[in-house]
Amino acid sequence: MKTLLTKLFASFNFSSQEVSDNTLFFKTNADDKVEYYLVYLTAKNTLKTYESTPSFMAAMDFLKEQNENQTDVAKNTSILLCVLMEDLGADSLQYKPDILKIEEEEFQYKHYVLPYVDQAVSALNASADLLSNLNVSVNNENRFHQYFTNPYGDATYFLSMQLFLKLPFLGPFPYQAANFIPIDTMVQQYIEIAQVKPFYTLAISDDINIIDWGIVQQNALDLSTDSFERVMDKLK
């Protein structure tokens, strides 16, 4: 996972620093924005206690030192917790309450949780052109529809999609193909085709006018929320 993320961040002009065996720090080199990411690799069984582990506490000390040297670090840093699972489907469902708690709780730094399995990382790393591979993967219509039917069935597609959701700088691609379809457009098309809109309305609201469909699209893809399940339950 460290190799995958290092290549990915480097492709978007981030410099990297290995803080420890399981912690990486990325800083954008772009002149027009300030952006930092602390990537912390952990396992599923530490989700309840990761904050008190010596390695994570050391990572927080590192961020504190960075902020003393560069005062913009605190307000421009996101923490990405990469959580290694054994069985993607079963483990993601089992630890979903912990993932929700981490992503919804108010911390000094915004936290994102990225569940993954090693086979998905290996599949993405095997590509000679990682960005192109991700582009092709997320825009595969059949895999996209299968994701809604069984989100954990294709571990590589799941990881590709989660990377887009948790790392906003990934899209749109700077050299995207002419037939590239942005994720939000694909979601909108799928929602319209599947007629999710009325079902979602029945599930969460009596007034369709108050629904922010941008949020609906994001939630429909983001399995760290319960909106995906609520939509799919209505479609059964």
- pLDDT value for 127: 84
pTM reported for the whole predicted model: 0.74
Contact between 73 and 36 (Cβ < 8 Å): yes
pLDDT tens column, 33-69? 889 999 999 999 999 999 999 999 999 999 999 989 8
How would DSSP label each residue in 4-17?
HHHHHHHHTTEEEE
* Intervals of the chain under pLDDT 50: 173-179, 197-202, 204-217, 220, 231, 234-236
CA–CA separation, 86 and 104 (whole Å): 24
The three-state secondary structure class of 140 is: coil
Query: Strands, E, within 50-202: which ranges?
Result: 77-84, 110-116
Counting Cβ atoms within 10 Å, is residue 162 exposed (0-12), middle (13-18) or buried (19+)? buried
Residue length of the chain: 236
- pLDDT value for 225: 56
Closest CA to 152 of 95, 236, 235, 234: 95
The three-state secondary structure class of 131 is: helix
- pLDDT value for 2: 95
Query: Strands, E, within 7-149: which ranges?
Result: 14-20, 23-28, 36-43, 77-84, 110-116
- pLDDT value for 153: 93
CA–CA separation, 82 and 105 (whole Å): 17
How would DSSP label each residue in 163-205?
HHHH-GGG-S-TT--TT---HHHHHHHHHHHHTHHHHHHHHH-
